[in-house]
């Protein structure tokens, strides 16, 4: 055993020596052999031979010095590594010799690899990259899902726990210290949403390794009882921006949601919190009641709103943590939801690693991955074609190397080394493209909708390794076919003259055509899908949504942050409605709970069937004010709207939409006067007084449910929207709304938008998908067309002689042109047909985003095919003109 160990080390040492000190070893070999040579001469001289003869004999005796040396090198056995080193140096020299080729090829690869890295780093940063906390290796997300009997409500993700559950788990946990967090928006100086806060357990800041630069963090008693301690810790940024970094800020107060909070400390600059959105300040979890109206969540044992984090204690691993959390989560449900089952998963801290995200986005992720891989495939085929053409010009070089004894395997290794190096250069370029691309993509997400995020999409070691891996693989893929093809030919004709390469040409040309066909086919798949998505998007804009899509303003305000009681908010809304209705240009005013054309409210309704049995129906819901249907432009098919009186009395009345009426009552006529139960008990029976036209929701994940409208009495959770139908310029109405709100309560800031903007935001995912698909399709088109261009110009340069003969024999320019262009267009046509078939299959995957456009929409397919044909024909025609400049006299004399 020991000897083999020593041998192994010796071997390594020797190999290392032979690699690192190659020159010295070569010198040593020289010295050794020269010593032998001279010793021989000496011996022959002593034997009595004259010096010259002794020298000759010694030379004969020793044989070919170089051959001996080569054999010695071989027996040292470092060839593989040494060869790689030599290949790299050789490839580097070859690349330096043709910078134009390297640049073109590397650019194509950079595009292909770039989109892959961009996607990878985006997904990686969202779902896998460690959180910006101290020692992320022991920091964990704890996801507690519950299922089974018992009602459970929640805010945020389904993995959030209630205050009661959180405290139970936190106190009992032994394997880790548990922290909790909830994100809220608050008002500062009366401006709603002007402060982003994180409600935290008192230990959370120290749990993520934060340190106060001023003052202190929360004390346990400041976060122990609901309502305890109106204290806050400022983020470094808030301290700088809001208070200009005043040194004596601790002890001052800041008014949030009309409640003064004492500033007890300022966190250091690095502290940005363990979630994607960066907060301005932290307040104790126990101040939850202040952050929204209605019954405080902190009092409801079944309401999950706290996100759970764990800092593992030394000596415990994730398995132990998960096992303990599973037991504790189950026990925490015991008092209020004894029949519900908990299901715990523990994951390395990341922003978006929730199990449901991984599940829900898997199909979408697969589509996007496929799309970016397709671009890479086009790039590979493109570069492979360039290499094929280049292989011909290097044929002589390769033939010479083969004829002086280089092995084909060695040459293959050499050629592959070159293509892998090319791919690595391209990969480096792709890294830069991806970095810019990821920033662009993240920039497309409207900042106001999510707040200041800390998504870090800059490349790190993982991204670098991914790039290197993809680059090496890419290099092998696009390098293999051309390399094999350039090694498979007869030596003799290749050595004689470069011009005569008819030999084996058929195979090479078939390969080139195949590669063009692949590029065109893949490019068509991407382009057709892009066209479909664009068509779907524009179609969605033109759909009859069942309501007016013009001349409506939607005004929202968050009264939750103004500490209004239900009565106050109802009075506020009514006065506001009347004031605005009296303004010039206003046609009508109403209220709604949900934003028009969005679908955010779901409910279970029961429709009495016969005497006792009731059918359960999933419905979407909305609470609306008087004049709603007129304001929103929704046609009433039967019955009536809610009356002014019904807004203030307790009459249980409802308006349903046509879909619900037809599906469950037979017809709108039958529905009026019928009863629908909107709760569990008989006292939640509502009389249907009217049937309205169905309104289409533009949300992508919509499932079309029938809708039930009920009168809006007061404000649910102090949330509500004002709907204003108007004529004339929207700006004037906006001003009138602002003035009306300011006269009622200067602390309330209205957020008004036109209905067109609302529609646009609902269509944002579809628009982003269409934009991304167009960008990818465009990239593929550019690559494919450079491919066609290259193929035709190559063919023109190779067929000069043939064209010359044809012209000498009397062919006219048109037929020559047709000949050359057709050669480029033939693979385009074949690839195009294959691409259309593939695109038809691929389009099924994006059906959901097409808003009713058929996945086989002939317009999309036809226009895309036409576009590709035109662009490819242009790409073929430009270099083909070169053939017309052929002078038969010159080309024929050439040989």
- Give the residues lining the site for another protein (CB under 8 A): 3, 6-7, 10-11, 14, 28, 31-33, 35-36, 38-40, 42, 61-64, 67-68, 71-72, 74-77
What is the C-alpha to C-alpha distance for residues 232 and 358, in angstroms, rounded to an integer? 35
What is the C-alpha to C-alpha distance for residues 80 and 367, in angstroms, rounded to an integer? 41
CB nearer another protein, residue 72 or residue 487 = 72
Give, in order, the Cα–Cα distances in Å from 512 to each of 426, 483, 797, 827. Answer: 22, 13, 15, 9
Residue with tokens 């459970």: 152
* Closest to 105 in 3D by CA, of 479, 398, 371: 479
Own/partner pairs, 360-366, CB within 8 angstroms, 24+ separation? 363/845, 365/123
What is the C-alpha to C-alpha distance for residues 797 and 501, in angstroms, rounded to an integer? 13
What is the C-alpha to C-alpha distance for residues 544 and 547, in angstroms, rounded to an integer? 7
CB nearer another protein, residue 68 or residue 477 = 68
H helices present in 201-283, as ranges:
204-207, 236-243
Q: Which two tokens stand for residue 81?
A: 């590594």
CB nearer another protein, residue 61 or residue 317 = 61
What is the C-alpha to C-alpha distance for residues 223 and 283, in angstroms, rounded to an integer? 9
CB nearer another protein, residue 47 or residue 448 = 47
Closest contact distance (angstroms) between CB of 28 and another protein is: 7
Closest contact distance (angstroms) between CB of 9 and another protein is: 9
Closest contact distance (angstroms) between CB of 414 and another protein is: 25
Q: Is 174:153 a contact under the CB 8 Å cutoff?
A: no
Q: Which two tokens stand for residue 884?
A: 């017309």
CB nearer another protein, residue 11 or residue 874 = 11
Closest contact distance (angstroms) between CB of 789 and another protein is: 53
Residue with tokens 């080729």: 101
CB nearer another protein, residue 61 or residue 757 = 61
What's the CA dihedral at 813, 819, 824, 830 to 10 degrees? 140
Closest contact distance (angstroms) between CB of 68 and another protein is: 5
Classify the C-alpha dihedral 308-309-315-320 as positive or negative. positive
What is the C-alpha to C-alpha distance for residues 888 and 598, in angstroms, rounded to an integer? 71
What is the C-alpha to C-alpha distance for residues 573 and 744, in angstroms, rounded to an integer? 10
Q: Which two tokens stand for residue 5?
A: 């160990």
Closest contact distance (angstroms) between CB of 404 and another protein is: 21
CB nearer another protein, residue 62 or residue 89 = 62
CB nearer another protein, residue 36 or residue 313 = 36
Q: How many residues does the chain have?
A: 895
Closest contact distance (angstroms) between CB of 54 and another protein is: 15
Q: Is 602:620 a contact under the CB 8 Å cutoff?
A: yes
Closest contact distance (angstroms) between CB of 33 and another protein is: 7
Closest contact distance (angstroms) between CB of 89 and another protein is: 24
CB nearer another protein, residue 44 or residue 120 = 44
* Closest to 369 in 3D by CA, of 241, 508, 501, 466: 466
CB nearer another protein, residue 40 or residue 328 = 40
Closest contact distance (angstroms) between CB of 64 and another protein is: 7
What is the C-alpha to C-alpha distance for residues 164 and 333, in angstroms, rounded to an integer? 9
CB nearer another protein, residue 38 or residue 699 = 38
CB nearer another protein, residue 71 or residue 492 = 71
What is the C-alpha to C-alpha distance for residues 669 and 638, in angstroms, rounded to an integer? 6
Closest contact distance (angstroms) between CB of 472 and another protein is: 30
CB nearer another protein, residue 67 or residue 682 = 67
Closest contact distance (angstroms) between CB of 17 and another protein is: 11
Own/partner pairs, 613-620, CB within 8 angstroms, 24+ separation? 614/677, 615/664, 617/660, 617/663, 617/664, 617/706, 618/705, 619/660, 619/705, 619/706, 619/707, 619/708, 620/697, 620/705, 620/706, 620/707, 620/708
**What pairs with residue 453 in β-bridges?**
277
Closest contact distance (angstroms) between CB of 73 and another protein is: 8
Closest contact distance (angstroms) between CB of 20 and another protein is: 16
CB nearer another protein, residue 12 or residue 704 = 12
Give, in order, the Cα–Cα distances in Å from 422 to each of 90, 380, 384, 702. Answer: 13, 12, 11, 47
Closest contact distance (angstroms) between CB of 440 and another protein is: 56
Provide the terminal-to-terminal Cα distance of the chain, rounded to the nearest Å.
70
∠ at Cα 819 (813, 822), nearest 5°? 130
CB nearer another protein, residue 32 or residue 269 = 32
* Closest to 188 in 3D by CA, of 326, 56, 286, 280: 280
Closest contact distance (angstroms) between CB of 19 and another protein is: 14
**Dihedral pair phi/psi, residue 194, rounded to 5°:** -85, -10
CB nearer another protein, residue 77 or residue 728 = 77
């Amino acid at each position: 055993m020991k000897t083999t160990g020593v041998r192994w080390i010796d071997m390594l040492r020797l190999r290392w020596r032979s690699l690192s000190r190659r020159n010295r070893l070569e010198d040593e070999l020289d010295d050794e052999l020269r010593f032998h040579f001279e010793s021989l001469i000496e011996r022959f001289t002593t034997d009595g031979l004259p010096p010259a003869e002794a020298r000759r004999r010694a030379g004969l005796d020793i044989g070919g010095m170089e051959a001996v040396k080569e054999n010695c090198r071989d027996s040292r056995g470092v060839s593989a590594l040494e060869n790689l080193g030599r290949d790299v140096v050789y490839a580097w020299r070859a690349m330096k010799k043709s910078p134009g080729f390297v640049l073109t090829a590397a650019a194509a690869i950079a595009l292909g690899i770039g989109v892959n890295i961009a996607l990878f780093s985006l997904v990686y940063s969202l779902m896998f990259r460690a959180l910006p906390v101290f020692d992320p290796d022991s920091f964990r997300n704890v996801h507690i899902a519950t299922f089974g009997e018992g009602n459970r409500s929640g805010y945020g993700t389904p993995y959030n726990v209630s205050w009661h559950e959180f405290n139970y788990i936190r106190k009992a946990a032994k394997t880790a210290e548990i922290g909790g967090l909830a994100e809220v928006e608050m008002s500062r100086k009366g401006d709603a949403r002007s402060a982003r806060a994180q409600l935290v357990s008192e230990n959370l800041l120290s749990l993520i390794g934060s340190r106060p630069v001023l003052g202190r963090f929360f004390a346990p008693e400041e976060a122990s009882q609901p309502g305890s301690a109106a204290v806050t810790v400022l983020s470094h940024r808030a301290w700088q921006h809001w208070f200009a970094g005043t040194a004596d800020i601790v002890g001052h107060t800041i008014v949030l949601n009309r409640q003064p909070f004492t500033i007890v400390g300022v966190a250091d600059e690095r502290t940005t919190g363990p979630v994607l959105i960066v907060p301005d300040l932290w307040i104790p979890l126990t101040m939850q009641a202040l952050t929204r109206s209605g019954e405080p969540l902190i009092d409801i044992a079944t309401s999950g709103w706290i996100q759970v984090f764990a800092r593992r204690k030394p000596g415990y691993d994730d398995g132990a943590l998960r096992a303990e959390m599973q037991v504790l989560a189950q026990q925490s449900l015991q008092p209020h939801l004894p029949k519900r089952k908990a299901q715990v998963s523990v994951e390395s801290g990341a922003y978006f690693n929730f199990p449901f995200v991984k599940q829900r986005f898997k199909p979408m992720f697969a589509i996007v991955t496929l799309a970016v891989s397709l671009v890479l495939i086009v790039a590979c085929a493109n570069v492979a074609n360039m290499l094929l053409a280049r292989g011909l010009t290097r044929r002589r070089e390769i033939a010479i190397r083969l004829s002086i004894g280089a092995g084909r395997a060695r040459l293959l290794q050499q050629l592959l080394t070159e293509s892998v190096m090319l791919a690595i250069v391209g990969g480096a370029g792709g890294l830069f493209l991806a970095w810019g691309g990821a920033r662009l993509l993240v920039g497309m997400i409207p900042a106001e909708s999510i707040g200041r995020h800390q998504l870090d999409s800059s490349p790190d070691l993982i991204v670098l390794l991914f790039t290197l891996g993809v680059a090496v693989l890419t290099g092998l893929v696009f390098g293999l076919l051309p390399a094999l093809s350039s090694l498979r030919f007869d030596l003799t004709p290749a050595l004689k003259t470069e011009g005569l390469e008819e030999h084996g040409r058929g195979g090479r040309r078939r390969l080139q055509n195949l590669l063009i066909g692949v590029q065109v086919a893949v490019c068509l798949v991407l382009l057709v899908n892009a066209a479909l998505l664009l068509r779907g998007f524009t179609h969605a804009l033109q759909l009859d949504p069942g309501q007016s899509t013009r001349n409506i303003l939607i005004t929202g305000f968050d009264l939750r942050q103004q500490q209004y009681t239900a009565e106050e908010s109802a009075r506020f809304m009514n006065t506001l409605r009347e004031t605005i209705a009296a303004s010039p240009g206003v046609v009508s005013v109403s209220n709604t709970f949900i934003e028009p054309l969005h679908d955010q409210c779901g409910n279970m309704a029961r429709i009495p069937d016969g005497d006792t049995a009731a059918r359960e129906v999933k419905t979407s819901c909305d609470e609306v004010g008087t004049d709603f249907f007129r304001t929103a432009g929704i046609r009433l098919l039967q019955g009536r709207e809610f009356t002014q009186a019904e807004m203030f009395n307790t009459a249980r009345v409802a308006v349903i939409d046509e879909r619900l009426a037809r599906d469950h009552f037979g017809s709108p006529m039958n529905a009026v006067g019928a009863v629908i139960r909107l709760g569990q008990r008989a006292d939640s029976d509502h009389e249907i007084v009217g049937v309205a036209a169905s309104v289409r929701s533009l949300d992508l994940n919509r499932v079309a449910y029938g809708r039930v409208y009920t009168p809006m009495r007061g404000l649910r959770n102090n949330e509500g929207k004002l709907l204003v139908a108007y004529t004339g310029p929207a700006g004037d109405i906006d001003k009138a709304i602002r003035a009306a709100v300011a006269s009622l309560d200067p602390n309330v800031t209205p957020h008004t938008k036109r209905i067109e903007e609302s529609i646009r935001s609902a269509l944002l995912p579809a628009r982003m998908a269409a934009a991304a698909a167009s960008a990818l399709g465009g990239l593929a088109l550019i690559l494919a067309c450079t491919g066609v261009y290259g193929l035709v110009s190559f063919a023109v340069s190779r067929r000069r002689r043939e064209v010359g003969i044809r012209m000498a024999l009397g062919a006219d320019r048109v037929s020559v042109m047709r000949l050359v262009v057709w050669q480029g267009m033939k693979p385009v046509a074949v690839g195009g047909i294959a691409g259309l078939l593939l695109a038809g299959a691929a389009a099924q995957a994006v059906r959901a985003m097409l808003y009713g456009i058929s996945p086989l929409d002939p317009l999309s397919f036809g226009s895309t095919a036409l576009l590709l044909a035109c662009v490819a024909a242009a790409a073929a025609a430009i270099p083909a003109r070169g053939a017309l400049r052929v002078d038969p006299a010159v080309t024929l004399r050439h040989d």
